[in-house]
């Protein structure tokens, strides 16, 4: 990595760590142990919470020096105007952020600054917002600098596809197993059929989306979470994901034959008939909604919305027709958070919306890596994915910026839900790993780098959600 991008990435993650630690100390009440500034009540202390606060302030000095060093290197390297403007914005805001920190320490985070449209704006809220603005400025500068150093502005196709119906290609040859005859090999036929129906449900999506719902339930209920609610919601969620996946297989069976990645799917190779797959999807939907309804009607209604959104809105409307299919389609992955929250509380709370926002913003940062790896496949199928329409350079930049938005939403979630140090540490460490993988993607620009970033995004979200569950359930 070149010096300026390395410094920008380090400074951005340094600021992010300060944001997460500061939010955690405020929510957990640790900030109350150290009232003065820059020291606690004008002197040294030895209590654990106060030491955390002092460590946060010392780290702020180090990060501030890192931001200044980054600005100094940028002056010498003469970056483009966009990079210089974004970096200058972040650098000039840092002293103001330090001043706000002093105000928070001496007067309290709840000190009112203004009231806008009936909403009270406290100095603590402003402190968080300015921190996020600095983080955003540094990450924006990093995205533009990486694009300048590693991108190709002419890699966007001149005539991108507009939908699967406009592409005429022969089906991809597949090596799918032959279906044995019932009379000749009944056991082999049964195993192959069971495996086919299992694959229709897209089981790889289940674990992560069920973990999303579990995290939302844990945040909403804490240690009092009911085992019955957990089982009904997670089993119902897994079956709703299976139903959505089955309908997706049915509706995309012709397109699947054109893509190397999907050419061996059960309907693409006629292992399962369309009527049987539809019946299977309807059965899964009915059982899923029944389980949700046993929890409450709002969870059942949201479950129905999730099935219809992925099966109809995403598969038929968004995916074949707009380059924003992945962004808008992120709502399908965010709905389990609302379902989990509603299952516990009977309403769509602010905490559930916060979890859903993290998933919604994470989806493009996650899936665009897969779109890069399978760009030729998507182009062959006629899907207007971002790399096919806008090119790989733009896609890599969007991955970085959506990663930044995901990290910001994860930090804000600390203030909306009862999260603690495990969540904060996990988000900072795994967020840095995710950012490292994305920066490497900009330099290496090959399939293995795209898959590395894809797996890093999975590791980040999965571990973050597990940390949220543990933080919420362990008193």
Residue 166, domain member (yes or no)? no
Note whether 242 and 114 are same-domain residues. Answer: no
- Of 150, 185, 210, which residue sits at a domain end? 150
Per-residue pLDDT of 340-355, as tens digits, reads: 999 999 999 899 999 9
Alpha carbons 91 and 70: distance in angstroms, whole number: 9
Residue 67, domain member (yes or no)? yes
Note whether 329 and 198 are same-domain residues. Answer: yes
Name the percent of the chain lying above pLDDT 70.
87
Note whether 139 and 244 are same-domain residues. Answer: no
Note whether 441 and 297 are same-domain residues. Answer: yes
- Of 87, 122, 150, which residue sits at a domain end? 150
Alpha carbons 382 and 364: distance in angstroms, whole number: 19
Note whether 64 and 197 are same-domain residues. Answer: no
Q: What is the mean pLDDT of residues 240-267?
A: 90
**CATH code where residue 309 lies:** 1.10.357.140
Alpha carbons 19 and 152: distance in angstroms, whole number: 34
Note whether 78 and 220 are same-domain residues. Answer: no
H or E stretch covering 119:
strand 119-122
Residue 162, domain member (yes or no)? no
Per-residue pLDDT of 17-36, as tens digits, reads: 998 888 887 776 666 767 77
Note whether 295 and 226 are same-domain residues. Answer: yes
Per-residue pLDDT of 160-216, as tens digits, reads: 666 666 555 555 555 445 555 555 567 777 788 888 899 999 988 888 999 999 999
Per-residue pLDDT of 399-450, as tens digits, reads: 999 999 999 999 999 878 778 788 988 999 999 999 999 999 999 999 999 9
Q: What is the mean pLDDT of residues 259-274?
A: 86
Distance of CA 217 to the CA centre of its chain: 18
Note whether 208 and 65 are same-domain residues. Answer: no
Residue 172, domain member (yes or no)? no
Residue 184, domain member (yes or no)? no
Residue 170, domain member (yes or no)? no
Does 244 have pLDDT greater than 60?
A: yes
Q: Which pair of structure tokens corresponds to residue 424?
A: 């904060």
Count: domains in the chain: 2
* pTM of the complete model: 0.90
Residue 158, domain member (yes or no)? no
Q: Are 282 and 187 in contact (CB under 8 A)?
A: no
Per-residue pLDDT of 117-166, as tens digits, reads: 454 566 777 888 899 999 999 999 999 999 999 988 777 776 666 666 65
| Burial label, 81 (beta-carbon count in 10 A; 0-12, 13-18, 19+) | exposed
Within 10 angstroms of residue 459's Cβ, the number of other Cβ atoms is: 14
Q: Which pair of structure tokens corresponds to residue 191?
A: 């195993």
Residue 358, domain member (yes or no)? yes
Give helix then strand counts, H and E, for the chain: 17, 2
Note whether 131 and 197 are same-domain residues. Answer: no
Note whether 230 and 371 are same-domain residues. Answer: yes
Note whether 257 and 358 are same-domain residues. Answer: yes
Q: Which pLDDT score is estimated for 48?
A: 67
Average pLDDT, the chain: 87
- Of 94, 128, 150, which residue sits at a domain end? 150
Q: What domain range includes position 338?
A: 193-473
Note whether 283 and 432 are same-domain residues. Answer: yes
Does 102 have pLDDT greater than 90?
A: no
């Amino acid at each position: 990595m070149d010096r300026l991008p390395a410094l920008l990435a380090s400074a951005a993650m340094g600021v992010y760590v300060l944001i997460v630690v500061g939010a955690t100390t405020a929510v957990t009440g640790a900030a109350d142990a150290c009232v003065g500034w820059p020291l606690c009540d004008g002197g040294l202390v030895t209590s654990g919470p106060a030491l955390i606060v002092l460590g946060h302030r010392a780290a702020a000095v180090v990060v501030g020096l890192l931001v200044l060093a980054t600005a100094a290197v940028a002056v010498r390297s003469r970056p483009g105007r966009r990079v210089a403007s974004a970096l200058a914005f972040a650098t000039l805001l840092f002293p103001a952020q330090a001043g706000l920190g002093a105000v928070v320490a001496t007067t309290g985070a709840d000190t009112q600054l203004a009231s806008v449209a009936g909403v009270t704006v406290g100095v603590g809220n402003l402190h968080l917002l300015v921190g996020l603005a600095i983080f955003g400025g540094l990450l924006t500068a990093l995205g533009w600098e990486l694009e300048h150093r590693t991108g190709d502005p002419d890699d966007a196709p001149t005539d991108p596809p507009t939908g699967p119906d406009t592409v005429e290609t022969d089906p991809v040859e597949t090596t799918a197993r032959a279906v044995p005859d019932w009379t000749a090999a009944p056991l082999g036929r049964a195993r192959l059929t069971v495996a086919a129906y299992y694959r229709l449900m897209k089981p790889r999506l289940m674990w992560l989306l069920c973990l999303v719902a579990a995290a939302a339930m844990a945040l909403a209920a804490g240690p009092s979470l009911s085992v019955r609610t957990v089982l009904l919601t997670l089993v119902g969620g897994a079956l709703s994901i299976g139903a959505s996946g089955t309908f997706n297989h049915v509706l995309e069976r012709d397109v699947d034959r054109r893509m190397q990645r999907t050419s061996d799917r059960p309907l693409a190779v006629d292992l399962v008939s369309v009527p049987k797959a539809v019946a299977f999807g309807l059965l899964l939907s009915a059982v899923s909604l029944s389980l949700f309804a046993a929890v409450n009607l709002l969870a059942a209604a949201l479950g129905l919305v999730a099935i219809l959104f992925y099966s109809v809105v995403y598969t038929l409307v968004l995916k074949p027709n707009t380059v924003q299919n992945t962004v808008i389609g992120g709502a399908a992955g965010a709905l389990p958070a609302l379902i989990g929250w509603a299952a516990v509380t009977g309403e769509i709370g602010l905490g559930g919306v916060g979890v859903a926002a993290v998933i919604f913003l994470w989806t493009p940062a996650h899936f665009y890596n897969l779109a890069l790896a399978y760009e030729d496949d998507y182009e062959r199928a006629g899907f207007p994915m971002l790399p096919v329409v806008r090119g790989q350079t733009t896609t890599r930049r969007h991955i970085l910026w959506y990663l930044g938005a995901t990290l910001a939403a994860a930090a804000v979630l600390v203030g909306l839900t009862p999260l603690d140090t495990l969540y904060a540490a996990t988000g900072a460490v795994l967020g840095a790993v995710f950012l490292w993988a994305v920066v490497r993607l900009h330099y290496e620009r090959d399939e293995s780098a795209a898959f590395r970033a894809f797996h890093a995004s999975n590791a980040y979200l999965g571990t973050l959600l597990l940390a949220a569950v543990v933080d919420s359930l362990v008193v």
